[in-house]
Amino acid sequence: MSVTKKKRSTRLIELTRVLLESPHTLFSLTEWADTYGSAKSSLSEDVAMIKMTFETEGIGTVVTFAGAQGGVMYVPSMALSKAEAFVETLLQKVEDPSRILPGGYLYLTDLLGDPFILKDIGRLIAALFPAHTFDLIMTVETKGIPLAFAASYVLNRRVVIARRDSQITEGSLVTINYVSGSNRHIQTMSLSRRMVPEGARVLLIDDFLRGGGTLKGMSDLLKEFRAIPVGAFVLMEAAEQNVRLYEDYISLLRLKQLDDTHQTLNVEAGNVFIKWKDKSVS
């Protein structure tokens, strides 16, 4: 079957769309040549142009692999300058006294439902935790779920969700008790035996860290699967905690002070940019 050769402008748009919609997916130049009716040399030039644009825009890069099994892959990321601007914008949204709830809580649910914020959080996580360093993303219901799926789409990694209550639809479960870092209460966390292969490397994601009990609980649960936690990301941490049950994490924001009596709030960037330098993210 003959293939109608497309104009280069059309081909560039289609290739860009394909790469953006399928991060960390290997595409064959041979198959593209058949699809678009173009020579591999022309496609290689197209890929080079797209790669330069992605890197200039700070949204990642395009990696090429040589050989019979080679091809082209989009690797999402976020430039440091864009990450800094994003965190500054997020701070302006968060540091609003109207977010203070009775009992000293902070309302963040609207942010966890904003697709544009989640998209940028996903790319920022991709810059800090390259996809080749882990196999799965793990979170605990409920507020960590949007963050986990934001990272999942960008990194092309499956999400596993630990449940606080067992569900019959999950099948056979592994269940542990863990100590909540915030109130020192004993809580329960369960995960289906089907979800985590033995030896899997797992990225932990949570929305808020106070004492670190939830992250430690996830880490302890993974031990039951002989799986390995390789990093942890939280949207916000509480500052000045006397006891941290889990230390190795990256936080996007830090809650320095919240006074629901006087309606005062102070939020700053978390340790994300310190860790950014430690990880030598460009």
| Reported pTM | 0.91
Q: What is the pLDDT of residue 228?
A: 97
Q: What is the pLDDT of residue 178?
A: 87
Q: What is the pLDDT of residue 54?
A: 97
**CATH tag, 80-278:** 3.40.50.2020
Tell me the C-alpha distance between 60 and 103, whole Å: 41
Q: Residue 1: is it exposed, middle or buried by C-beta count within 10 angstroms (0-12/13-18/19+)?
A: exposed
Q: Which CATH number fits domain 8-76: 1.10.10.60, 3.30.2140.20, 3.30.43.10, 1.10.10.10?
A: 1.10.10.10
CATH 1.10.10.10 in the chain: give the residue spans: 8-76
What 3-state class would DSSP assign to 176?
strand
Question: Using an 8 Å Cβ cutoff, are 171 and 177 in contact?
Answer: no
- In the chain (282 residues long), the average pLDDT of successive 10-residue segments reads 74 96 95 90 95 96 86 96 96 93 89 96 96 96 94 97 78 85 78 93 96 94 96 93 85 91 90 87 62
21: nearest Cα among 114, 153, 159, 147:
153
* Angle of the 115-128 helix axis to the 144-155 helix axis, nearest 10: 60
Q: What is the pLDDT of residue 282?
A: 56
Q: What is the pLDDT of residue 78?
A: 96
CATH 3.40.50.2020 in the chain: give the residue spans: 80-278
